[in-house]
Protein backbone atom coordinates (compact mmCIF):
# COMPACT_ATOMS: atom_id res chain seq x y z
CA UNK A 1 0.00 0.00 0.00
CA UNK A 2 1.27 3.47 -0.95
CA UNK A 3 0.95 6.27 1.60
CA UNK A 4 1.50 9.97 0.97
CA UNK A 5 3.80 12.01 3.21
CA UNK A 6 2.70 15.64 3.20
CA UNK A 7 4.19 18.91 4.42
CA UNK A 8 2.53 19.18 7.86
CA UNK A 9 0.93 22.36 9.22
CA UNK A 10 2.77 22.82 12.51
CA UNK A 11 1.41 26.20 13.52
CA UNK A 12 -1.58 28.44 12.93
CA UNK A 13 0.43 30.89 10.82
CA UNK A 14 2.43 28.28 8.89
CA UNK A 15 1.78 28.36 5.13
CA UNK A 16 4.89 26.60 3.86
CA UNK A 17 7.91 24.73 5.14
CA UNK A 18 11.47 24.38 3.92
CA UNK A 19 13.05 20.93 3.70
CA UNK A 20 16.25 21.24 5.74
CA UNK A 21 17.34 17.60 5.75
CA UNK A 22 15.96 14.15 5.00
CA UNK A 23 16.94 11.85 7.87
CA UNK A 24 16.16 8.73 5.79
CA UNK A 25 17.23 7.87 2.25
CA UNK A 26 15.07 6.51 -0.57
CA UNK A 27 14.70 2.77 -0.10
CA UNK A 28 15.37 2.84 3.65
CA UNK A 29 12.96 1.19 6.04
CA UNK A 30 11.05 3.59 8.28
CA UNK A 31 9.26 2.79 11.52
CA UNK A 32 6.26 4.70 12.81
CA UNK A 33 7.38 7.48 15.17
CA UNK A 34 10.93 7.62 13.80
CA UNK A 35 12.28 11.07 12.80
CA UNK A 36 11.89 11.21 9.02
CA UNK A 37 13.01 14.70 8.06
CA UNK A 38 13.82 18.13 9.44
CA UNK A 39 11.85 21.14 8.23
CA UNK A 40 12.03 24.88 8.87
CA UNK A 41 8.80 26.73 9.57
CA UNK A 42 8.42 30.51 9.77
CA UNK A 43 9.44 30.25 13.42
CA UNK A 44 11.63 27.23 14.14
CA UNK A 45 13.32 24.07 12.89
CA UNK A 46 11.34 20.91 13.64
CA UNK A 47 11.78 17.18 13.16
CA UNK A 48 8.84 15.42 11.49
CA UNK A 49 8.14 11.85 12.55
CA UNK A 50 6.81 9.10 10.28
CA UNK A 51 3.10 8.54 10.84
CA UNK A 52 3.32 4.96 9.54
CA UNK A 53 5.86 2.18 9.00
CA UNK A 54 7.17 1.12 5.59
CA UNK A 55 9.86 1.98 3.06
CA UNK A 56 10.68 5.50 1.90
CA UNK A 57 9.77 4.71 -1.70
CA UNK A 58 10.14 8.11 -3.35
CA UNK A 59 11.25 11.60 -2.23
CA UNK A 60 9.58 14.38 -4.22
CA UNK A 61 10.79 17.48 -2.35
CA UNK A 62 14.52 17.97 -2.13
CA UNK A 63 16.54 19.67 0.59
CA UNK A 64 16.32 23.45 0.36
CA UNK A 65 12.90 23.45 -1.35
CA UNK A 66 10.00 25.40 0.13
CA UNK A 67 6.71 23.48 -0.03
CA UNK A 68 3.16 24.60 0.76
CA UNK A 69 1.45 22.83 3.66
CA UNK A 70 -0.49 19.63 2.75
CA UNK A 71 1.51 19.18 -0.49
CA UNK A 72 2.96 15.70 -1.06
CA UNK A 73 6.70 15.57 -0.32
CA UNK A 74 7.32 11.80 -0.46
CA UNK A 75 5.74 8.35 -0.72
CA UNK A 76 5.91 5.54 1.83
CA UNK A 77 5.26 1.96 0.67
CA UNK A 78 4.82 -1.41 2.35
CA UNK A 79 7.48 -2.82 0.02
CA UNK A 80 10.00 -1.55 -2.51
CA UNK A 81 8.24 -3.47 -5.29
CA UNK A 82 5.11 -1.34 -5.17
CA UNK A 83 4.69 1.20 -7.97
CA UNK A 84 4.40 4.82 -6.91
CA UNK A 85 2.16 7.29 -8.76
CA UNK A 86 3.74 9.41 -11.47
CA UNK A 87 6.09 11.85 -9.78
CA UNK A 88 4.20 14.88 -8.60
CA UNK A 89 5.62 18.27 -9.24
CA UNK A 90 5.34 19.89 -5.82
CA UNK A 91 5.31 23.25 -7.53
CA UNK A 92 2.58 22.18 -9.92
CA UNK A 93 0.28 24.98 -8.83
CA UNK A 94 1.96 27.41 -11.24
CA UNK A 95 -0.44 28.79 -13.82
CA UNK A 96 -0.16 27.01 -17.18
CA UNK A 97 0.93 30.22 -18.92
CA UNK A 98 3.72 30.73 -16.38
CA UNK A 99 4.90 27.13 -16.85
CA UNK A 100 5.03 27.56 -20.62
CA UNK A 101 6.87 30.86 -20.37
CA UNK A 102 9.33 29.38 -17.90
CA UNK A 103 10.49 26.87 -20.48
CA UNK A 104 11.09 29.45 -23.16
CA UNK A 105 14.46 31.12 -23.51
CA UNK A 106 14.33 34.82 -24.18
CA UNK A 107 16.51 35.95 -27.07
CA UNK A 108 19.44 38.22 -26.27
CA UNK A 109 18.13 40.89 -28.64
CA UNK A 110 14.79 41.59 -30.24
CA UNK A 111 14.64 40.42 -33.81
CA UNK A 112 14.70 43.34 -36.24
CA UNK A 113 16.43 44.20 -39.48
CA UNK A 114 19.96 45.41 -38.71
CA UNK A 115 22.53 45.98 -41.42
CA UNK A 116 25.58 44.02 -40.29
CA UNK A 117 28.08 41.66 -41.83
CA UNK A 118 27.74 37.94 -40.99
CA UNK A 119 31.03 38.08 -39.07
CA UNK A 120 29.82 41.10 -37.06
CA UNK A 121 26.61 39.26 -36.16
CA UNK A 122 28.59 36.19 -35.08
CA UNK A 123 30.93 38.27 -32.90
CA UNK A 124 27.99 40.16 -31.37
CA UNK A 125 26.38 36.89 -30.28
CA UNK A 126 29.64 35.64 -28.77
CA UNK A 127 30.44 38.85 -26.88
CA UNK A 128 26.91 39.80 -25.86
CA UNK A 129 26.86 43.03 -27.83
CA UNK A 130 23.51 44.54 -28.80
CA UNK A 131 23.79 45.41 -32.50
CA UNK A 132 20.89 47.85 -32.32
CA UNK A 133 23.03 50.09 -30.08
CA UNK A 134 25.95 50.26 -32.53
CA UNK A 135 26.46 52.80 -35.29
CA UNK A 136 28.03 51.06 -38.29
CA UNK A 137 31.11 52.47 -40.01
CA UNK A 138 31.00 50.17 -43.02
CA UNK A 139 29.55 50.95 -46.45
CA UNK A 140 26.05 52.42 -46.17
CA UNK A 141 26.22 52.38 -42.35
CA UNK A 142 26.71 48.61 -42.27
CA UNK A 143 28.05 47.24 -38.96
CA UNK A 144 31.38 45.52 -39.44
CA UNK A 145 33.69 43.40 -37.28
CA UNK A 146 35.68 46.40 -35.99
CA UNK A 147 32.48 48.12 -34.76
CA UNK A 148 31.54 45.10 -32.67
CA UNK A 149 35.03 44.72 -31.20
CA UNK A 150 35.09 48.41 -30.28
CA UNK A 151 31.68 48.13 -28.57
CA UNK A 152 32.81 45.00 -26.71
CA UNK A 153 35.89 46.85 -25.42
CA UNK A 154 33.70 49.69 -24.11
CA UNK A 155 31.42 47.21 -22.32
CA UNK A 156 34.42 45.45 -20.75
CA UNK A 157 35.87 48.78 -19.61
CA UNK A 158 32.57 49.78 -17.98
CA UNK A 159 32.33 46.42 -16.21
CA UNK A 160 35.86 46.83 -14.82
CA UNK A 161 35.00 50.31 -13.59
CA UNK A 162 31.90 48.97 -11.81
CA UNK A 163 33.97 46.16 -10.27
CA UNK A 164 36.48 48.73 -9.04
CA UNK A 165 33.75 50.86 -7.46
CA UNK A 166 32.30 47.89 -5.59
CA UNK A 167 35.62 46.21 -4.79
CA UNK A 168 35.33 47.13 -1.11
CA UNK A 169 31.76 45.82 -0.80
CA UNK A 170 31.09 42.59 1.10
CA UNK A 171 27.91 40.60 0.74
CA UNK A 172 26.39 39.41 4.02
CA UNK A 173 24.31 36.27 3.63
CA UNK A 174 21.23 36.29 5.85
CA UNK A 175 20.61 33.24 8.01
CA UNK A 176 17.33 31.37 7.56
CA UNK A 177 15.95 32.97 10.75
CA UNK A 178 16.99 36.44 9.55
CA UNK A 179 15.30 35.87 6.17
CA UNK A 180 12.08 34.79 7.88
CA UNK A 181 12.19 37.79 10.21
CA UNK A 182 12.90 40.14 7.29
CA UNK A 183 9.88 38.79 5.38
CA UNK A 184 7.59 39.01 8.43
CA UNK A 185 8.65 42.55 9.29
CA UNK A 186 8.24 43.69 5.68
CA UNK A 187 4.76 42.16 5.63
CA UNK A 188 3.90 43.78 8.98
CA UNK A 189 5.01 47.26 7.93
CA UNK A 190 3.28 46.92 4.56
CA UNK A 191 -0.08 45.58 5.81
CA UNK A 192 -0.48 47.02 9.32
CA UNK A 193 -1.33 50.72 9.80
CA UNK A 194 1.05 51.40 12.70
CA UNK A 195 0.80 54.27 15.14
CA UNK A 196 2.87 54.91 18.26
CA UNK A 197 2.29 56.41 21.70
CA UNK A 198 5.03 57.08 24.25
CA UNK A 199 4.94 57.54 28.01
CA UNK A 200 7.49 57.98 30.80
CA UNK A 201 7.60 55.85 33.95
CA UNK A 202 9.14 56.83 37.28
CA UNK A 203 11.06 53.65 38.09
CA UNK A 204 12.04 54.63 41.67
CA UNK A 205 9.73 52.26 43.53
CA UNK A 206 10.19 49.44 41.00
CA UNK A 207 13.97 49.62 41.51
CA UNK A 208 13.49 49.55 45.30
CA UNK A 209 11.20 46.50 45.06
CA UNK A 210 13.74 44.68 42.89
CA UNK A 211 16.55 45.46 45.34
CA UNK A 212 14.42 44.20 48.24
CA UNK A 213 13.73 40.91 46.43
CA UNK A 214 17.13 40.45 44.77
CA UNK A 215 18.90 38.68 47.63
CA UNK A 216 16.01 36.27 48.21
CA UNK A 217 15.73 35.46 44.50
CA UNK A 218 19.45 34.92 43.92
CA UNK A 219 20.46 33.17 47.14
CA UNK A 220 17.36 31.17 47.99
CA UNK A 221 15.63 30.67 44.64
CA UNK A 222 18.76 30.75 42.43
CA UNK A 223 17.06 33.08 39.95
CA UNK A 224 18.10 36.59 38.89
CA UNK A 225 15.27 39.12 39.06
CA UNK A 226 15.64 41.70 36.27
CA UNK A 227 13.89 44.95 35.39
CA UNK A 228 12.50 43.08 32.37
CA UNK A 229 10.65 40.69 34.72
CA UNK A 230 8.93 43.64 36.40
CA UNK A 231 7.92 45.06 33.00
CA UNK A 232 6.56 41.66 31.86
CA UNK A 233 4.48 41.38 35.04
CA UNK A 234 3.17 44.95 34.65
CA UNK A 235 2.20 44.21 31.03
CA UNK A 236 0.49 40.95 32.03
CA UNK A 237 -1.53 42.75 34.69
CA UNK A 238 -2.60 45.45 32.22
CA UNK A 239 -3.41 42.97 29.43
CA UNK A 240 -5.83 41.10 31.70
CA UNK A 241 -7.75 44.39 32.04
CA UNK A 242 -7.64 45.25 28.31
CA UNK A 243 -8.57 42.12 26.32
CA UNK A 244 -8.71 44.04 23.03
CA UNK A 245 -4.97 44.74 23.34
CA UNK A 246 -4.45 41.03 24.07
CA UNK A 247 -5.73 40.09 20.61
CA UNK A 248 -4.97 39.04 17.06
CA UNK A 249 -6.27 40.74 13.91
CA UNK A 250 -7.17 38.30 11.13
CA UNK A 251 -9.04 39.00 7.89
CA UNK A 252 -11.20 41.80 9.25
CA UNK A 253 -11.82 40.10 12.61
CA UNK A 254 -10.43 40.82 16.08
CA UNK A 255 -9.85 37.64 18.07
CA UNK A 256 -9.45 38.34 21.79
CA UNK A 257 -7.78 35.81 24.10
CA UNK A 258 -8.41 34.95 27.74
CA UNK A 259 -4.83 33.66 28.10
CA UNK A 260 -2.12 36.31 28.41
CA UNK A 261 0.94 35.00 26.54
CA UNK A 262 3.77 37.54 26.33
CA UNK A 263 6.51 37.16 23.73
CA UNK A 264 9.95 38.50 24.62
CA UNK A 265 12.15 39.65 21.71
CA UNK A 266 15.65 38.16 22.09
CA UNK A 267 18.53 39.18 19.81
CA UNK A 268 21.13 36.54 18.88
CA UNK A 269 23.90 36.21 16.32
CA UNK A 270 21.69 33.76 14.39
CA UNK A 271 18.80 36.23 14.31
CA UNK A 272 15.95 37.56 16.43
CA UNK A 273 13.61 35.10 18.16
CA UNK A 274 10.50 35.71 20.26
CA UNK A 275 9.89 32.96 22.85
CA UNK A 276 6.63 33.19 24.79
CA UNK A 277 5.91 33.28 28.53
CA UNK A 278 2.46 31.70 28.65
CA UNK A 279 -0.24 32.68 31.18
CA UNK A 280 2.00 35.48 32.43
CA UNK A 281 -0.89 37.06 34.34
CA UNK A 282 -1.23 33.89 36.42
CA UNK A 283 2.47 33.75 37.37
CA UNK A 284 4.31 35.56 40.14
CA UNK A 285 7.59 37.41 39.69
CA UNK A 286 9.65 34.36 40.64
CA UNK A 287 7.93 32.16 38.03
CA UNK A 288 8.30 34.85 35.35
CA UNK A 289 12.00 35.38 36.15
CA UNK A 290 12.73 31.64 36.10
CA UNK A 291 10.87 31.09 32.83
CA UNK A 292 12.56 34.10 31.21
CA UNK A 293 15.98 32.72 32.18
CA UNK A 294 15.10 29.25 30.82
CA UNK A 295 13.84 30.66 27.51
CA UNK A 296 16.88 32.94 27.17
CA UNK A 297 19.23 29.97 27.70
CA UNK A 298 17.33 27.89 25.12
CA UNK A 299 17.38 30.77 22.64
CA UNK A 300 21.14 31.26 22.94
CA UNK A 301 21.74 27.52 22.56
CA UNK A 302 19.32 27.34 19.59
CA UNK A 303 17.14 24.83 21.45
CA UNK A 304 13.76 26.58 21.39
CA UNK A 305 10.89 24.24 20.52
CA UNK A 306 7.82 25.19 18.49
CA UNK A 307 5.84 25.21 21.73
CA UNK A 308 8.27 27.78 23.18
CA UNK A 309 7.56 30.29 20.39
CA UNK A 310 3.90 29.65 19.52
CA UNK A 311 0.79 31.29 20.94
CA UNK A 312 1.99 34.83 21.70
CA UNK A 313 -0.74 37.44 22.20
CA UNK A 314 1.53 40.45 22.90
CA UNK A 315 5.25 41.22 22.55
CA UNK A 316 7.78 43.11 24.68
CA UNK A 317 11.04 44.41 23.21
CA UNK A 318 13.45 45.87 25.77
CA UNK A 319 16.63 47.63 24.57
CA UNK A 320 17.34 49.37 27.86
CA UNK A 321 20.52 47.36 28.41
CA UNK A 322 21.87 48.85 25.14
CA UNK A 323 21.50 52.44 26.47
CA UNK A 324 18.68 53.15 24.01
CA UNK A 325 16.41 55.94 25.21
CA UNK A 326 13.34 54.96 23.17
CA UNK A 327 12.40 53.35 19.86
CA UNK A 328 9.39 52.46 17.71
CA UNK A 329 9.17 48.72 17.06
CA UNK A 330 7.34 46.84 14.31
CA UNK A 331 4.30 44.82 15.41
CA UNK A 332 4.63 41.03 15.40
CA UNK A 333 1.59 39.92 13.30
CA UNK A 334 -1.12 38.82 13.86
CA UNK A 335 -0.76 40.55 17.25
CA UNK A 336 -2.14 44.09 17.49
CA UNK A 337 0.32 45.73 19.90
CA UNK A 338 3.98 45.66 20.95
CA UNK A 339 5.67 47.50 23.81
CA UNK A 340 9.19 48.87 23.27
CA UNK A 341 11.10 49.97 26.38
CA UNK A 342 14.34 51.93 26.71
CA UNK A 343 17.00 52.50 29.35
CA UNK A 344 16.29 53.59 32.91
CA UNK A 345 18.04 56.93 33.31
CA UNK A 346 18.15 59.52 36.06
CA UNK A 347 16.67 62.92 35.30
CA UNK A 348 15.90 66.11 37.22
CA UNK A 349 12.18 66.52 37.98
CA UNK A 350 9.98 68.68 40.17
CA UNK A 351 8.07 66.78 42.88
CA UNK A 352 5.70 68.76 45.11
CA UNK A 353 7.71 71.92 44.57
CA UNK A 354 11.05 70.23 45.20
CA UNK A 355 13.77 69.52 42.64
CA UNK A 356 14.75 65.84 42.81
CA UNK A 357 16.66 63.32 40.73
CA UNK A 358 14.68 60.20 39.84
CA UNK A 359 15.13 57.22 37.47
CA UNK A 360 12.78 57.29 34.49
CA UNK A 361 12.13 54.91 31.60
CA UNK A 362 10.43 55.69 28.28
CA UNK A 363 8.09 53.12 26.79
CA UNK A 364 6.48 53.23 23.35
CA UNK A 365 3.42 51.21 22.40
CA UNK A 366 3.13 50.23 18.72
CA UNK A 367 -0.54 49.77 17.79
CA UNK A 368 -2.45 48.31 14.84
CA UNK A 369 -4.99 51.05 14.06
CA UNK A 370 -7.39 48.46 12.62
CA UNK A 371 -7.89 47.03 16.11
CA UNK A 372 -6.73 49.69 18.58
CA UNK A 373 -7.34 53.45 18.67
CA UNK A 374 -5.32 56.11 20.45
CA UNK A 375 -7.63 56.27 23.47
CA UNK A 376 -7.51 52.53 24.14
CA UNK A 377 -3.75 52.39 23.61
CA UNK A 378 -3.25 55.30 26.02
CA UNK A 379 -5.43 53.71 28.72
CA UNK A 380 -3.44 50.49 28.44
CA UNK A 381 -0.13 52.35 28.66
CA UNK A 382 -1.39 54.18 31.77
CA UNK A 383 -2.18 50.82 33.39
CA UNK A 384 1.32 49.49 32.64
CA UNK A 385 2.76 52.68 34.12
CA UNK A 386 0.58 52.30 37.21
CA UNK A 387 1.91 48.79 37.82
CA UNK A 388 5.53 49.95 37.61
CA UNK A 389 5.10 53.11 39.69
CA UNK A 390 3.10 51.21 42.35
CA UNK A 391 4.95 47.88 42.17
CA UNK A 392 3.18 46.44 45.22
CA UNK A 393 0.38 45.76 42.71
CA UNK A 394 2.72 43.31 40.96
CA UNK A 395 2.90 41.17 44.09
CA UNK A 396 -0.86 40.66 44.38
Same domain, 242 and 288: yes
Q: Give the chain's domain count.
A: 3
**389 and 346 both lie in a single domain:** yes
CA distances from 342 to 84, 98, 336, 348 (A): 59, 49, 20, 18
> Do 313 and 194 lie in a common domain?
yes
Q: Has 194 been annotated as catalytic?
A: no
Residues 25 and 146 in one domain: no
57 in a structural domain: yes
CATH classification at residue 129: 4.10.320.10
Task: Say what the pTM is.
Answer: 0.68
Look at residues 373, 215, 235, 338 and name the one whose alpha carbon lies nearest to residue 292: 235
Position 367 in a domain: yes
Q: What is the structure's pLDDT at 99?
A: 43
Question: Are residues 236 and 89 part of one domain?
Answer: no
CATH number of the domain within which 374 lies: 3.30.559.10
Q: Are residues 84 and 222 in the same domain?
A: no
pLDDT, position 51 = 87
* Same domain for 212 and 92: no
> Does residue 383 share a domain with residue 305?
yes
111 vs 128 pLDDT, higher one:
128
Whole-number average pLDDT of the chain: 88
57-66, 126-135, 159-168, 243-252: lowest mean pLDDT where? 159-168
Same-domain check for residues 292 and 145: no
Query: How many CB atoms neighbour CB 196 within 10 A?
Result: 15
Same domain, 34 and 149: no
Instruction: State pLDDT tens for residues 73-98.
Output: 999 998 877 777 755 444 444 444 44
pLDDT given for residue 223 in this prediction: 94
Here the CATH number for the domain that contains residue 23 is 2.40.50.100
Q: Predicted confidence band at 114 (pLDDT cuts at 50, 70, 90)?
A: confident
Residue 52 structural domain: 2-102
Query: Would you say residue 109 lies in a domain?
Result: no
Catalytic residue among 194, 224, 248, 369: 369
What's the pLDDT score for residue 165? 64
- Which of the pair, 89 or 324, is modelled with greater confidence? 324
What's the average model confidence in pLDDT over 316-328? 96
Residue 113 counted as domain residue: no
Query: Other CB atoms closer than 10 Å to residue 352's CB: what's the count?
Result: 5
**69 in any annotated domain:** yes
Asked, for residue 171, whether it belongs to a domain, the answer is: no
Q: Do 158 and 35 reside in the same domain of the chain?
A: no
164 or 392: which carries more pLDDT confidence? 392
Q: What is the pLDDT of residue 97?
A: 43
Longest dimension (CA), the chain: 97
- Ranking 231-245, 302-316, 374-388 by mean pLDDT, the lowest is 302-316
Main-chain phi, psi angles of 203, to 5 degrees:
-95, 10
Of the residues 146, 165, 184, the one at which a domain ends: 165
Q: Which pLDDT belongs to residue 100?
A: 46
* Residue where a domain terminates, one of 67, 102, 137: 102
pLDDT confidence of residue 80: 79
Q: Which of 38-47, 161-170, 297-306 has the lowest mean pLDDT?
A: 161-170
Does residue 170 belong to any structural domain of this protein?
no
346 conformational bin, left if phi > 0, alpha if psi -120 to 50, beta if neither: beta
In contact, 325 and 345? CB cutoff 8 Å: yes
- At 172 the pLDDT is 83
Residue 107 belongs to a domain? no
Q: State the pLDDT at residue 60.
A: 92
Residue 81 Rama label (left phi>0; alpha psi -120 to 50; beta): alpha
Does 81 share its domain with 136? no
pLDDT in tens, 136-153: 998 888 899 899 999 988
Amino acid sequence: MIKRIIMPKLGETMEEGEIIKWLKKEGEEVKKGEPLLEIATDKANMEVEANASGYLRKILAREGEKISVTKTIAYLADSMEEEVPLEENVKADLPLKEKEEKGKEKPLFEEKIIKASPLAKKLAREKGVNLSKIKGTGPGGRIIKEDVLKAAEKIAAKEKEVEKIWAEEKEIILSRVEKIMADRMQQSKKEIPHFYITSEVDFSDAIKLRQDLLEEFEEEKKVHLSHTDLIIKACARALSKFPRINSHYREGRIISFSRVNIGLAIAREKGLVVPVIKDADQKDLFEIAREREDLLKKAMEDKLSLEDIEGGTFTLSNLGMMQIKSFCAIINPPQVCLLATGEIKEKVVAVEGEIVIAPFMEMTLSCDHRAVDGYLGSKFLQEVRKGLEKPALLLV
